Amino acid sequence: MIYPQGQNHRYEIIYWENQNRVVFCHDCNAFHINFGMISLDLQRPAIGLLRTRLHRYLQFYEEKVHPECRCIEIATPYQGIRLLLSVGEIRTLGNMLYEASSSLWGKENKHSDY
């Protein structure tokens, strides 16, 4: 994470595996997600929305395409910008978001669909 010079933020590393990580910034009240070449900054409510969307894509495509075929376009709120992921990547990103949300919000989120 890069911040303006002299700006110190209190952050907590929630998930870190290979090049993928989720960091929660207590000052921004936001998750900073790095997944491969994708970098996302999301507020708390957006984590659940993204997890739900990823789960729907996973259910739809899991039996239809090869797990490593990066051919699933996931829409974003930005015109012309989509995430291009494979079934395996959707599963990994979904698990990352699950671990991040459950570590901060406790046991009530302990059901993973991935």
Q: Where are the domains of the chain?
A: 11-109
Q: Which residues pair with 32 in a beta bridge?
A: 23, 41
User: Residue 12: what residue type?
Assistant: E
Q: What is the pLDDT, as a whole number, of residue 76?
A: 83
Structure token pair of residue 56 = 């729907």
Q: CA angle, 106 as apex, 105 and 107 as ends, to 5°? A: 135
Write out pLDDT tens, residues 42-68.
888 888 899 999 999 999 999 999 999
Q: Where does the chain show beta strands of DSSP type E? A: 11-17, 20-25, 30-35, 38-43, 72-75, 82-85
pLDDT surpasses 80 at 25: yes
Tell me how crowded residue 68 is: count the other CB atoms within 10 A of its CB.
Answer: 10
